[in-house]
Amino acid sequence: MQEDALESLGLQEANDEELSKSFESLKEERVFTAEELLIDYSGLLDMQVEFSSYLGTVELSLAEILKLQKGSIIDLRKPAGESVEIFINQRIIGKGEIMVYEKNLAIRVNEILDSKTVIEYFSREK
């Protein structure tokens, strides 16, 4: 009976070692930097893309549109300071906030998808 217990303990140790090796190999899985990814996709780097972001939309009747004049305000029903989505070729890649930069409207990027996902999007469109 003790031999069985020792034998099963030996098998358990072997299984633990295999699991430990498997876990270590997963930890060693390489994470590529944006620069390394771009080397493989250098043909995509000069591709033209459409950048867009929407402040908001509103539905107006034709009568309301005809009443518009210089200085009219159209309420987009979006709170000031709320984030806007950033699209490249109609695909969302991040979020940002509207700001004024050198007297122009600009978008400060607050969140963006990782480089690998962005490159996968565009490699499918090529």
Residue among 79, 88, 78 nearest 109 (CA): 88
Q: What is the pLDDT of residues 48-63, one digit of tens each?
A: 888 898 888 899 999 9
Q: How much is the pLDDT for 70?
A: 95
CATH superfamily, with its number, for domain 48-125: SpoA-like (2.30.330.10)
In which band, very low, low, confident or very high, does the pLDDT at 5 lie, cut at 50, 70 and 90?
Answer: very low
Query: 3-class DSSP state for residue 100?
Result: strand
Residue among 100, 98, 94, 105 nearest 82 (CA): 98
Interior angle at CA 115, CA 112 and CA 44, nearest 5: 120
In which band, very low, low, confident or very high, does the pLDDT at 46 lie, cut at 50, 70 and 90?
Answer: confident
Helix (H) or strand (E) holding 92: strand 91-101
Burial class of residue 91 (count of CB atoms within 10 Å of its CB; 0-12, 13-18, 19+): middle
In terms of pTM, does the model score above 0.75? no
